[in-house]
Amino acid sequence: MIPLYSPSQVRELDNFAVSAMHVPSIVLMENAALNIREILLPLLEQRDCESVCIVCGKGNNGGDGYTVARHLVNEGFNVTVVSLYPASALTPDAATNYVILKNSDTSTNLKFLDFYKIKRYSFTQFDVIIEAILGSGFSGVPDDYISGMLKQMNNTNAFKVAIDVPAGLNSDTGAAGIAFQSDITITLGGLKRGLFFNNGKKYSGDVYGAGIGISDNYLEQKGTNTFLITPEHVAGLVPHRKIDAHKYSSGKILHLSGSKQYPGAAVLASIASFKTGAGASVTTAGSSYINRMLQLSEPYQVYEEFDDNDLGCFSPLAITQLAKKIAWADVLVIGSGMGAGEEAKAFVNQICNDFPKKLKVIDADGLSIVNPGNKKNPDLHNAILTPHMGEFSKMTGLSIDELRINLPAIGSGFCLKHHCHLILKDFVTIIFSPDGMIYINSTGNAGLAKFGSGDVLSGMIGGFYAQVKNPLSAAILAVYLHGLTADILKESKTELGYTAKDLLEKIPQAIKIISGSCA
């Protein structure tokens, strides 16, 4: 997996280079600019770009911009440099590179537009806009002056490049209000975690790493708690069938899901468990109608009847009837389409407390058992919880906006408190473990924002959990491959055209791709 760092860790690398290695900070800036140039040149050539605008702030991020401008001028690009602040306000290294740029070339392909001339300036004439305004040290909300500039810069069709971090984005938490909407971000020194999830994914575009001339050993030795999931890691987790395997040795799953109102969710989740390789999947649901749906959709499905007392949903009365089947199962997949009534809620709560050692996946309506108003929350040891942001908001008592301000700390704190693993479903899915580790998914697309997608994911998690018996491995496998099925479908059906049922059909192909490509 790819390690991701906090901005404070990357700043420690800068400080180490200057104080311990005695590398002048302006040399680090030059090294960074040279590496940025190497990344930019082929991208600009591919797009046949000629006119470049570089917008520079007053800090060292602006200094990076001035230095990059010099190299692009030397490469023959028509470069306009917009200085948002007077030279007297610049940091020492930024001021030095500003003066060097001013004095280095008198040719017609370099123009300066100083801060006092830009109030009504338009950026629409440029092929490329490179933003070097605030950098990774910024947190909070840009002032009105910078916000106005960002809105103007975003309101163009230019190819947009952020140096280090898009202005306005918190590179630790991924939080943002108004921010530069970059097509690519070239981040310096180390990959910052806030670029890859939350609003970071929205504003950063494709992320490239550019070194500052210092070995990666320093950051690697420091370590991190955040990683980007890679196909190579996922391939190593895929379970392999032994030659003497039989259906009951390959994972036994009991689905406690569905209701009279939502029968399809149970069907999707149960089929997904089989598609991931589980040998035995039994669906128990609060409506006999689901039995007919299962038999019509997949004749190998097994349905377990119980007396629902005409409720059409689960209640604690069912637990005694299902005790033997619960004991039989390796994993319980709970909640998909269950309904959020008090009877179902009491059922899930009792299952967790009566069977604390049983491996569990809790999704959708089953998540209503966790909320900040509980005097005592259920036992969630051995449980994987799978909320989307709206559900997690209810579970924590925080608004979605409050969650976005500091997702890493809130997610990690939740897992530590409840001793569970958390899969937080957003436009980038994040896996939190109770030991404080964070894993960010790198597959999937907006086509997953449809009814049923989450039910497929819960079934996949259950299928892998029953085989590998490790909650983190099951979570990583299911989340990555679930996203990969969507990426496969996007190629043929677009993000608009595929459904949860289509995801089911592509699960085996996704597993084959990941197993074969990394063999």
pLDDT tens, residue by residue, 315-364: 788 888 888 889 999 999 999 888 777 888 888 999 999 999 999 999 99
Q: Which two tokens stand for residue 1?
A: 């997996």
Exposure of 1 by Cβ count < 10 A (0-12 exposed, 13-18 middle, 19+ buried)? middle
pLDDT tens, residue by residue, 22-46: 999 999 999 999 999 999 999 999 9
pLDDT of residue 377: 83
Does 90 score more than 90 pLDDT? yes
pLDDT tens, residue by residue, 203-236: 999 999 999 988 888 888 888 999 999 999 999 9
Does 240 score more than 90 pLDDT? no
With a pLDDT cut of 70, the percent of the chain lying above it is 92
- Domain regions of the chain by residue span: 2-228, 242-376+435-517
Task: Return d(Cα 488, Cα 507) in angstroms, integer.
Answer: 10
Closest among 165, 210, 209, 161 to 31, alpha carbons compared = 210
Band the pLDDT of 119: cuts 50, 70, 90: low
Band the pLDDT of 308: cuts 50, 70, 90: low
Does 193 score more than 70 pLDDT? yes
Looking at domain 2-228, its CATH superfamily turns out to be YjeF N-terminal domain (3.40.50.10260)
Does 406 score more than 80 pLDDT? yes
Looking at domain 242-376+435-517, its CATH superfamily turns out to be Ribokinase (3.40.1190.20)
Does 261 score more than 80 pLDDT? no
Higher pLDDT residue, 319 or 195? 195
3-state secondary structure of 5: strand
Q: Which two tokens stand for residue 238?
A: 């895929």
Does 518 score more than 60 pLDDT? no
- If residue 45 lies in a helix (H) or strand (E), which one and from where to where? helix 25-46
pLDDT of residue 196: 96
Task: Return d(Cα 333, Cα 375) in angstroms, integer.
Answer: 25
pLDDT of residue 314: 78
pLDDT tens, residue by residue, 411-455: 999 999 999 999 999 999 999 999 999 999 999 999 999 999 999
Whether 2-228 and 242-376+435-517 share one fold: the answer is no
